[in-house]
Amino acid sequence: MQYRVEGIVIRSMDYGEGNKIITLLTNTHGKIGIVVRGAKKVKSRHGSLAQLFTHGEYLFFRNSGLGTLTHGEIIESHHLLREQLDKTAYSSYAAELVDRALQEEDAGQFIYEQLKACLAAFSEGKDLPVTLALFEMKILVAAGYAPDFNACISCGNEGGSMALSVRGGGILCGRCRYKDSTAIELSEGAFKLLRLFRQLDMRRLGSIAVKEETKQQLKHIMRSLMDTHLGLQLKSRSFLDQMDRYSL
């Protein structure tokens, strides 16, 4: 059967002599694996369609299992994301997250739109760590693990300083803080940003100025949330960390 989908390449790997297998996140069919024959040949018409981060329209044939590409058109090649090392590192992590963190039923149109906007933001030069933290929050939303930042999860109190109980899935007020000894104290800046990110659609991300220490706290918090709830070992994250270390 023939399919036509709009999708973004979230994984691309060599397969046999000159071929590639790509995984697409699509706007209508979740994640799909497609064989791109001859993708590695220099003159291949389909080579660029098989590159990581490419956003395009894909026509493929499938009976069961993997599809086979018959035709495609590039909508956005995102070549900057493959050429600039810091952008490559961030984009690879975002793509691998979608590939690994989401079950088939969670990879719907919502996360498709969020990934599309995330890659566009990286490409346009928006702040990389801030954009990534927002995207991680969207992954947690899609996977059903996003914390509740509206009120204390224990007593409902909405005022005062708060601490995040990663395991409890929400915030604890000063009075209830003792209920989770591992809760992370939130600075006012981090708390505001987390609340905003919980609600914000990636497509509406403008340019926000975030203080360096708030960025560090944000990174620490998103890491704790991802590790506790998803527990993934991602190659792209080691790459990202290595790059961050060298650029200091």
Quote the least distance from Cβ 78 to Zn ion, whole Å.
Answer: 45
Selected range binding Zn ion among 37-45, 62-70, 91-99, 170-178, rule: CB under 5 A: 170-178
> Is there binding between residue 154 and Zn ion (CB under 5 A)?
yes
> Is there binding between residue 162 and Zn ion (CB under 5 A)?
no
φ/ψ of 48, rounded to 5, equals: -70, -25
Quote the least distance from Cβ 138 to Zn ion, whole Å.
Answer: 27
Selected range binding Zn ion among 22-30, 135-143, 167-175, 232-240, rule: CB under 5 A: 167-175
Quote the least distance from Cβ 178 to Zn ion, whole Å.
Answer: 10
> Is there binding between residue 173 and Zn ion (CB under 5 A)?
yes
> Is there binding between residue 163 and Zn ion (CB under 5 A)?
no
DSSP structure class, residue 159:
S
> Is there binding between residue 97 and Zn ion (CB under 5 A)?
no
> Is there binding between residue 176 and Zn ion (CB under 5 A)?
yes
3-state secondary structure 46-94: CCHHHCCCCEEEEEEECCCCCEEEEEEEEEECCHHHHHCHHHHHHHHHH
Contact with Zn ion (CB under 5 A): which of 34, 35, 134, 152?
152
Per CB under 5 A, which of residues 183..202 are in contact with Zn ion?
A: none
Q: From residue 176, give the alpha-carbon distance in Å to each of 15, 54, 179.
A: 55, 47, 6
Distance CA(29)–CA(23), nearest Å, equals: 12
Q: Give the nearer residue to Zn ion in terms of CB position, either 82 or 195.
A: 195
CB 193 within 8 A of CB 131: no
CA atoms within 13 A on the CB side of 68: 8
> Is there binding between residue 161 and Zn ion (CB under 5 A)?
no
User: Which residues does 140 contact at the CB level (< 8 Å), separation at least 6?
Assistant: 146, 147, 225, 226, 229
* Binding residues vs Zn ion (CB under 5 A): 152, 154-155, 157, 173, 176
